[in-house]
């Protein structure tokens, strides 16, 4: 049923575009550029960019709309169907393949975007299968291990040790030993001590962030990547997924096996209102893998000091982290397309990127913007080196992006229940063979 719903939505959207119902962003005009984003924390930074842009472009006004993550994508999809889409919107690489395939994005080839002006790989990710650019680099994030300093200190684990962890799918390495030791049952026994009761755990060594769906950004992605696995047969616009690969399945079996041992919080602990950060805040978990967009949230936890460590070294001898990069895209039927193109070019400029970096909310895509963000975080007393090391030390890290393919919504619809069945339902990882076949059949259409 999930698969049919996703496919039906895709079909409806495609039909509406073919029939020419799109008439441009609601409320836009020759003097206004409408711009949508989802992150309320970033709103002040982009309002500052808009003010500067308007000074540089007399007569043009940028009208910004902000809404929550779930509402954002629902309303954006509906707006494409109804013809009320914004002129410009913040795009996510997870959604890019679907939008590019539906031809709802305006090519941006004439804006002069150069890969070398941005952090490695960010600009290249937004080139479609047809060779045209559909997004200008906006910002980036990596994944780290957040940890409760009091809990790690009580467990005798130093920052140096946490930054030097390694893992393997056979015995879990020093990473599994660490999360086992950080796990405490209701009687105060640690996960690596005699008598530990895995069915009555007070504090888990590692928080739950759900099943990871088909990308595992803050769950298992850094493990499978540091084991040498790739999502598809090509870095971008692959035609075959590899969820049936032996390496992938061995890592997934080990990772979710941590829950069976009582070290990883169960799937039932996770919900949209009880994500990994909430579990750490409540003392339910000692550590959590999470992304740079959560920095301010963890830093703001009252009565708790939270620090960060890099992801553990894998069997390949490297650490790995997804390096996700957002972009700004212009809609194909933007009402004010000339103004939209000017605004998108300005958003990707050093001027706006430094402004955004100075707010210390995200890491902008340009090196100068990143430096401005690092300086802003330092002023707040926040150490961000675990996030920037993958960019600065490319020999030690493997960075990778979301899988970029066609039919991304359909892949998600199939992989989400499949991964939850393994995590929470005890289904064998071999069941992913059939799921992978279904996905590749869709891609072969």
Residue-range domains of the chain with CATH: 2-140+327-381 (3.40.190.10), 143-322+407-443 (3.40.190.10)
Q: Any long-range contacts for 344-348 (C-beta under 8 Å, 24+ apart)?
A: 344/88, 344/108, 344/111, 344/136, 345/111, 345/112, 345/136, 346/49, 346/53, 346/56, 347/46, 347/49, 347/88, 347/136, 347/138, 348/111, 348/113, 348/136, 348/137, 348/138
Q: Residue 220: CB partners within 8 Å, gap ≥ 6? A: 212, 251, 252, 255
pTM, full prediction:
0.92
**pLDDT score for 29:** 65
Could you give the angle at the alpha carbon of 138 between the alpha carbons of 318 and 130, nearest 5°?
Answer: 85
**pLDDT score for 218:** 98
Distance CA 285, CA 441 (A): 40
> Residues 22, 85: contact at Cβ < 8 Å?
yes
334's enclosing H/E stretch is none
**CB-count burial class (<10 Å; 0-12, 13-18, 19+) for 416:** middle
Cα dist from 188 to 151, 155, 191, 205, 290, whole Å: 13, 12, 10, 13, 27
Task: Mark 74-105 as b/e (b = at least 16 C-beta within 10 Å).
Answer: ebbbebbbebbbbbbbbbbbbbbbbbbbbebb
pLDDT in tens for each of the 445 residues of the chain?
Answer: 222 233 334 444 443 443 333 334 444 568 999 999 999 999 999 999 999 999 999 999 999 999 999 899 999 999 999 999 999 999 999 999 889 989 999 999 999 999 999 999 999 999 999 999 999 999 999 999 999 999 999 999 999 999 999 999 999 999 999 999 999 999 999 999 999 999 999 999 999 999 999 999 999 999 999 999 999 999 889 999 999 999 999 999 999 999 999 999 999 999 989 999 999 999 999 999 999 999 999 999 999 999 999 999 999 999 999 999 999 999 999 999 999 999 999 999 999 999 999 999 999 999 999 999 999 999 999 999 999 999 986 678 999 999 999 998 899 999 999 999 999 999 999 999 999 999 999 999 8
Residue 214 tokens, joined: 């088909």
Distance CA 45, CA 13 (A): 32
Q: Strand 61-66: give its sheet, edge to edge.
A: 61-66, 32-37, 88-91, 324-330, 136-141, 363-364
According to DSSP, the residues that pair with 222 across neighbouring strands are: none
Could you give the angle at the alpha carbon of 220 between the alpha carbons of 218 and 226, nearest 5°?
Answer: 110
């Amino acid at each position: 049923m999930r698969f049919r719903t996703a496919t039906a939505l895709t079909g409806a959207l495609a039909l509406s575009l073919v029939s020419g119902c799109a008439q441009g962003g609601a409320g836009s005009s020759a003097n206004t550029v409408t711009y949508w984003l989802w992150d309320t924390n970033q709103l002040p930074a982009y309002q500052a960019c808009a003010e500067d842009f308007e000074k540089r472009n007399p007569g043009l006004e940028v009208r910004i709309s902000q809404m929550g993550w779930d509402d954002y994508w629902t309303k954006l999809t509906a707006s494409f169907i109804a013809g009320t889409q914004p002129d410009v919107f913040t795009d996510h690489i997870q959604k890019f393949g679907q939008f590019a395939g539906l031809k709802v994005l305006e090519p941006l080839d004439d804006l002069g975007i150069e890969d070398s002006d941005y952090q490695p790989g960010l600009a290249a990710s937004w080139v479609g299968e047809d060779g045209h650019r559909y997004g200008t680099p906006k910002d980036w994030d990596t994944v780290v291990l957040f940890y409760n300093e009091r809990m790690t200190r009580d467990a005798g684990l130093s920052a140096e040790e946490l930054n030097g962890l390694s893992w393997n799918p056979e015995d879990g390495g020093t990473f599994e030993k660490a999360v086992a030791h950080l796990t405490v049952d209701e009687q105060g026994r640690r996960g690596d001590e005699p008598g530990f009761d895995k069915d009555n755990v007070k504090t888990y060594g590692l928080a739950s962030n759900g099943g990871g769906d088909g990308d595992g950004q803050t769950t298992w992605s850094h493990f499978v990547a540091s084991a040498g696995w790739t999502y598809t047969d090509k870095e971008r616009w692959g035609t075959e997924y590899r969820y049936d690969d032996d390496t992938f399945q061995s890592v997934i079996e080990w990772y979710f096996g941590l829950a069976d041992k009582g070290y990883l919080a169960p799937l039932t602990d996770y919900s949209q209102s009880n994500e990994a950060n909430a579990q750490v805040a409540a003392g339910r978990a000692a550590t959590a893998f999470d992304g740079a967009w959560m920095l301010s949230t963890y830093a703001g936890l009252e009565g708790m000091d939270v620090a960060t460590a890099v992801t553990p070294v894998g069997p390949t001898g490297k650490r790995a982290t997804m390096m996700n990069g957002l972009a700004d895209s212009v809609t194909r039927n933007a009402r004010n397309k000339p103004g939209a193109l000017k605004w998108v070019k300005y958003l990707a400029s050093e001027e706006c990127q430094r402004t955004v970096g100075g707010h210390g909310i995200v890491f902008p895509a340009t090196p100068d913007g990143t430096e401005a963000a690092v300086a802003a975080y330092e002023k707040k007393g926040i150490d961000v080196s675990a996030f920037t090391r993958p960019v600065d030390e490319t020999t030690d890290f493997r960075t990778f992006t979301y899988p970029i393919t066609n039919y991304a919504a359909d892949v998600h619809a199939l992989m989400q229940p499949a991964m939850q069945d393994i995590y929470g339902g005890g289904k064998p990882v071999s069941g992913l063979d059939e799921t992978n076949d279904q996905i590749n059949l869709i891609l072969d259409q």
